[in-house]
Amino acid sequence: MPVIGINITRIEFEKKIPPFPGGRIEVNLSPKVKDMRLGEIRTPTGKTQGIEILFKYEITYRPEIAEGFIEGAVMYLPPRREEIDEILDTWESERKVKPEVFTEVVNFITHSVAPMLFVIAKEMGLPYHVPLPRIDVKGHNPGGMV
């Protein structure tokens, strides 16, 4: 896995109005790359260079009952060491991230912050960012077996 760690540096959420019962509430997640730079991490075999990717993961609600964000950094190690300069040069000149790098990084960030988002939503009385599984009773089954 090319992403080897995450460092959360800031979490901010604000509830603007209390959620109202009924009606549809939409939760949007918007991950953004803020910056990329050469990074270094210590491993058991010594120091390893990679790309430190600074991110902002925004969470918005529609209607506007709340908003928030999580900021931090991840360390990305490309499959080939030679790609570090290529990725950083593209970022510096065009402010673009290769789709495969963006996908890998965003999937890692989402997997890492999803539990925090559940706790924050629960504590603030907000809808969850993904629907939880629910069971429904479709008919009466006295034996309880399907």
pTM exceeds 0.85, yes or no:
no
Asked if the structure places residue 134 within a domain, the reply is no
Asked if the structure places residue 82 within a domain, the reply is yes
DSSP 125: T
Asked if the structure places residue 146 within a domain, the reply is no
User: Residue 133: what pLDDT?
Assistant: 75
User: Residue 116: what pLDDT?
Assistant: 94
- Into how many domains does the chain fold? 1
Contacts of 27 (CB under 8 A, 6+ apart): 59, 60, 61, 127, 128, 129, 130
Asked if the structure places residue 90 within a domain, the reply is yes
For residue 7, the enclosing domain spans 3-124
Question: Residue ranges of the chain with pLDDT lower than 50?
Answer: none
Asked if the structure places residue 114 within a domain, the reply is yes
Asked if the structure places residue 67 within a domain, the reply is yes
Asked if the structure places residue 133 within a domain, the reply is no
pLDDT, one tens digit per residue, over 55-72 is 999 999 988 899 999 999
pLDDT, one tens digit per residue, over 102-115 is 999 999 999 999 99
